[in-house]
Structure formats: C-alpha cells, structure tokens
Amino acid sequence: MGTPSPIIEARGLIKTYGSVVALDGADFELYPGEVLAVIGDNGAGKSTLIKCLSGALVPDEGEIRVEGQPVHFRRPQDARAVGIETVYQSLAVAPALDIASNMYLGRELRRPGVLGSVFRMLDHGAMQRHAREQLQHLGIGTIQSITQAVETLSGGQRQAVAVARAAAFGSKVIILDEPTAALGVKESAQVLKLIRDLRDRGLPVILISHNMPHVFEVSDRVHIQRLGRRVAVVTPATHTASDAVAIMTGALDAAGATSAA
C-alpha cells in the first residue's frame, strides 16, 4: 500500500505583522487517523500556523489543502464547514448553561414551527439525547447529568465537554490547543484518554502542547516549529522528548529528523 494522502496540507505559509515574521514558509501535513503534536518555543509560529489552519487568520502567502483540494479560509466558520473543529485553551463554554446547551451552542436543534420555519422552538430533548450519546461514545462516564450546569464541573470535565462538542461536529479534524494546561494529574489523564479515543474512532487530532511527557505519550508524530517554519517531524519511536526540545531550541541539528514526515 502507498502512503496515504494528507487530510490537511500546507505549503509555504507566510504571515507577517509589520516587520515581525510569524510564519516564514511553513509546511504542514496531517494524515488520517493520527495524533500529530505541534511543538515550538514561544514565538516559533505554532499558534499562527494553527490559526491559519482553523480559519482564525488568513496567511499572506502559501497554500492550504483539505483532502487534496485547495481551500481559502477567511473565518473559522469556513474551516468548520469542511469539518475542522478547534478547542482553544479558553474553552469558550457558557458556565451557566447546561452540558447539552453548551454542546449545541450556536448550532441549536429546533422543532418544526407552526408555519414551517416560523416560531421554531428549541428541541431540548433531542439536544440532550444527542449530547448524552456523544459523551457515552467517547467513554465520558464521570458526568452525573447532562442537564447540570457547566460551572459545576471540574476542569477535566469541562475540557471533556468541549472536546465532545468538537467531536460531534468535526467530521475530519479536531485541533486541541493546550488541552491539559492547568489540569491536575487525574484530569490530564482523562483528557489524554479522550485524545486516544478520538484517534481510535479514526478522527485525526492536532495537539498543541508545551507538556512534553503528554506529547510523547499520545502522539504518533511530532511537528517541531522553530523561527516561523517546520524544522523537523519526529516520532516517539525514534526520538526522545529531550531530542525534540533540543531540536526545538536549535541545540540539536534537525538534519535527518524529517524522515517521519
């Protein structure tokens, strides 16, 4: 069998802010069914890269392809329309609303109105049912009730709700931005299990993280960003976390490390 084609591919991305070059000809590939970690020091351009892939930023130059087709994302909704969902570190949840309402926030299900599309009421029952099924499908069993407010949940449970929401609508790719930041050991383990579950379902995941043990625990490949471009792609089977950090900081030559690309 030949090498599979990338789900998302970027070539030569450039993004500048005045005299600051955030991306300097950055390349990227995400393949089906993998967890790809993106690491880099502060200012390496990893956040800018991910924002370009998720539609939050428009690159000045370069090309992005989804399943081989060129795409031109002008806003996050464009990326969502092709099945790319992003969970940011801030989570963007509404604490006072219940779990089901948060999972369908901005995409609420409605019952048919009396006059067709007029006076359509929210279908709370359907949203609760689908939300419960999604949580069960991902093996999230620590939440007592789908109707409890998100503000009553632990940090790990809130992250699980945000990931479940992304998985419910992300048909092609899930992007997770620092999903274990500020979480305890137990809650981090729950989130890492979620990432594995997403991969087991065949949904590729882009993981942005500064936590090297977590990166090397769940990732199939590690994209290393430095000075606005990709300098290497390594695997946990061939490189250690210390190797990755050394490449990331420039202490170790990246030559030959791109064999995992």
Compute the distance between CA of residue 257 and CA of residue 155 in angstroms, rounded to an integer: 36
Domains of the chain (ranges; CATH) run 1-83+173-184+203-261 (3.40.50.300)
pLDDT at 58: 97
| Structure-token pair, residue 234 | 């390594």
Q: What pLDDT sits at residue 157? A: 80
Inter-residue contact 171 to 7 (CB < 8 Å): no
Cα dist. 195→108, 160, 189 in Å? Answer: 25, 10, 10
- pLDDT at residue number 259: 45
pLDDT of residue 233: 96
Distance in Å from the first CA to the final CA of the chain: 17
Q: pTM (2 decimals)?
A: 0.85
pLDDT at 57: 96
How confident is the chain (261 residues) per 10-residue block, as mean pLDDT?
86 96 97 96 93 96 97 95 87 80 80 65 81 76 78 82 79 89 82 89 93 96 96 95 93 64 50
Q: CA gyration radius for the chain?
A: 19
- Would you say the C-alpha torsion 142, 147, 150, 153 has a positive or negative sign? negative
- One-letter amino acid for residue 163 of the chain: V
Closest CA to 218 of 240, 236, 243, 238: 236
CA dist 217 and 213 (Å) reads: 6
Do 132 and 104 form a contact (C-beta atoms < 8 A)?
no
How far is C-alpha 132 from the geometric centre of its chain's CA atoms? 22
Phi, psi of 208 (to 5 degrees): -100, 125
> Length of the chain in residues, anyone?
261
Instruction: Label residues 199-235 b or e (16+ Cβ within 10 Å = b).
Output: beeebbbbbbbebbebbbbbbbbbbbbbebbbbbbbe
CB 44 within 8 A of CB 65: no
Extract the tokens encoding 179.
Answer: 């999903």
The pLDDT score that the predictor gives to residue 69 is 96
Between the alpha carbon of residue 59 and those of residues 12, 15, 55, the distances in Å are 10, 5, 9
Burial zone of 256 (CB within 10 Å; 0-12 exposed, 13-18 middle, 19+ buried): exposed
